[in-house]
C-alpha cells in the first residue's frame, strides 16, 4: 500500500475539520461587522518612514516614540550582546536562562526608576498577567479602570479575585468602591497613559483613595515611559510620585525601541513575583542580546534630553494642528485619537490616508468601545515638521471631523 503524501503547504485538506468550520463561521461574522484583521509585513526597519506593499509611507502607527528601534547605538549593543551570549537562552531564568545581561539591565532599570528592585518580563502582557495573580486571589478584590489595557483586564480575570471596574479616570467612584467593598486585600490597577485615547490617569487622586482605604496601587506606564517625566521615567516621575507608587510596570518595546517589560517595586515584591508570577517562571527568558540593547536604550532615554524635547515639539505641533481642524487634541502624550464612529468609517479613512502616502491604522472594537472606531496617530521624535504638516493636510483634505 502506497504511503499517503502529506498535503502541500497552503493547500486545504479534502475534508475540513470541526475547528476549521468554527473558524470560518467566526471569520465571516467578523468580516460582516468590519472587524476582521489582517497582517501586513513591513519591508523596512521601523521608523518615521517605512516601506509596505512596495510603497514608502509616513508612519504614524508605531509606538516607537523616540525612534530608538533603528538607533545605531541600540543596534550595536544588540550585536555585541549577540556575539557574547548567542541567540536563545535555553530556559527560564529560574533554571539556566539567567545571564549577566539580564542582571545588568535590571540594575540599570532600578537606577532609572529609582526603585529598590526591578524584575524583567518578556512582554508587557506577560508582566500584567503575571503580577496581578501573584498578588491577589480568592477573597481579595482588584479595582480596574474601565479603559485599562487588555493585559490588565486579563490579569484581573486570571487572579480569581473579585473584579470591580470603575468608570474611566473617576477617582471619586473608585474611592466609593474601595470603601464599600470588603476584601482581605485590595489592589487598584490603572494605566497612566491610556493607549487608545492618550489621556492620563488622575494619579494623585487615585493614590489618595488607595491610602485612605488600605489598597495597594499598580500602574502600567507602558505609554508614559520615555515620554513623560524629567528623565523619561513616566507619569509617576512627572508628578513626583515615584517613591509612593509601589508597583510600576514599564515596557521596553515602545519608547525604548526593544522588547520586554519590567516592574519597578520593592525587593520583597520582586522576590515574590520571581516565585509566583507564572509567565516569569514558565517562559524562556528574553534573549540576552535584547537585554544589552535595552540597557543601551535606557542610557539614551535618560541621558538625551533633546531627544525627548524633539518628541514634545512634535506633540505640541500636531496637537495645535488638530485643534485648528476643530478636533479635540490636548498635548498630554504621544497618542492622538481621531474618533470617527463605526468600523467602516475608520477603515475608509485609513484607506484614503494610505492612498496619499500616510500609514495610520484604523482601530476598531474590541480594542476600543463600540461606536468609537478611530484613526490612532502616534507621534515620534523621528517625525519631521514636514511629516506632521503633511498628516494634518491629509486630514484637512479628507474633511475628517469628530464623529464623521
Residue 138 falls in the annotated catalytic set: no
Write down the catalytic residue from 223, 361, 383, 387: 223
Q: Are 191 and 145 in contact (CB under 8 A)?
A: yes
Distance CA 90, CA 102 (A): 14
SS3 content of the chain, % helix, strand, coil (to 5): 40, 15, 45
Instruction: From the candidates 102, 254, 383, 387, give the one annotated as an active-site residue.
Output: 254
Set 61, 195, 253, 283: catalytic member: 195
Residue with cell 476584601: 183
Q: What is the DSSP secondary-structure string of 321-335?
A: HHHHTT-----SSSE
Give the span between the Cα atoms of 336 and 353, in whole angstroms: 16
DSSP secondary-structure letter at 197?
T
> Comparing C-alpha atoms, which of 160, 147, 157, 127 is closest to residue 265?
127
Assess whether 151 carries a catalytic annotation.
no
What are the phi and psi torsion angles at 375 (to 5°)? Answer: -95, 135
Query: Is 195 annotated as catalytic?
Result: yes
| Angle between helix 288-303 and helix 100-113 axes, rounded to 10 deg | 20
Catalytic positions, please?
A: 195, 223, 254
Amino acid at each position: 500500500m502506497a504511503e499517503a503524501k502529506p498535503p502541500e503547504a497552503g493547500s486545504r485538506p479534502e475534508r475540513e475539520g470541526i475547528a476549521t468550520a468554527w473558524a470560518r463561521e467566526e471569520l465571516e461574522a467578523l468580516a460582516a461587522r468590519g472587524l476582521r484583521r489582517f497582517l501586513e509585513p513591513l519591508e523596512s526597519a521601523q521608523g518615521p518612514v517605512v516601506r509596505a506593499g512596495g510603497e514608502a509611507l509616513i508612519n504614524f502607527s508605531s509606538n516607537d516614540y523616540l525612534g530608538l528601534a533603528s538607533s545605531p547605538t541600540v543596534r550595536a549593543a544588540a550585536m555585541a550582546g549577540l556575539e557574547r551570549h548567542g541567540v536563545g537562552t535555553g530556559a527560564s531564568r529560574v533554571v539556566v536562562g539567567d545571564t549577566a545581561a539580564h542582571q545588568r539591565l535590571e540594575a540599570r532599570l532600578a537606577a532609572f526608576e529609582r526603585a529598590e528592585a526591578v524584575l524583567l518580563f518578556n512582554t508587557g502582557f506577560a508582566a500584567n498577567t503575571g503580577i496581578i495573580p501573584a498578588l491577589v486571589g480568592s477573597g481579595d478584590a482588584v479595582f480596574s479602570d474601565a479603559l485599562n489595557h487588555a493585559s490588565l483586564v486579563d490579569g484581573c480575570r486570571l487572579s480569581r479575585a473579585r473584579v470591580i471596574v470603575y468608570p474611566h479616570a473617576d477617582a471619586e467612584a473608585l474611592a466609593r468602591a474601595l470603601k464599600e467593598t470588603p476584601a482581605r486585600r485590595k489592589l487598584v490597577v490603572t494605566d497612566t497613559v491610556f493607549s487608545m485615547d492618550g489621556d492620563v490617569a488622575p494619579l494623585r487622586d487615585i493614590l489618595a483613595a488607595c491610602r485612605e482605604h488600605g489598597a495597594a496601587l499598580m500602574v502600567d506606564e507602558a505609554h508614559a515611559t520615555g515620554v513623560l517625566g524629567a528623565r523619561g521615567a513616566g507619569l509617576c516621575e512627572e508628578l513626583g510620585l515615584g517613591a509612593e507608587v509601589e508597583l510600576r510596570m514599564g515596557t521596553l518595546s515602545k519608547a525604548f525601541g526593544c522588547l520586554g517589560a519590567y516592574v519597578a517595586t520593592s525587593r520583597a515584591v520582586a522576590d515574590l513575583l520571581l516565585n509566583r508570577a507564572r509567565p516569569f517562571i514558565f517562559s524562556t527568558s528574553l534573549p540576552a542580546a535584547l537585554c544589552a540593547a535595552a540597557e543601551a536604550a535606557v542610557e539614551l532615554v535618560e541621558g538625551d534630553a533633546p531627544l525627548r524635547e524633539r518628541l514634545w515639539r512634535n506633540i505640541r505641533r500636531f496637537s495645535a494642528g488638530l485643534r485648528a481642524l476643530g478636533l479635540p487634541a490636548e498635548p498630554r502624550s504621544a497618542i492622538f485619537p481621531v474618533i470617527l464612529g463605526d468600523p467602516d468609517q475608520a477603515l475608509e479613512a485609513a484607506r484614503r490616508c494610505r492612498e496619499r502616502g500616510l500609514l495610520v491604522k484604523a482601530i476598531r472594537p474590541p480594542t476600543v468601545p463600540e461606536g468609537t472606531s478611530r484613526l490612532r496617530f502616534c507621534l515620534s521624535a523621528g517625525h519631521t515638521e514636514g511629516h506632521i504638516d503633511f498628516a494634518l493636510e491629509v486630514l484637512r483634505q479628507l474633511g475628517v471631523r469628530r464623529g464623521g
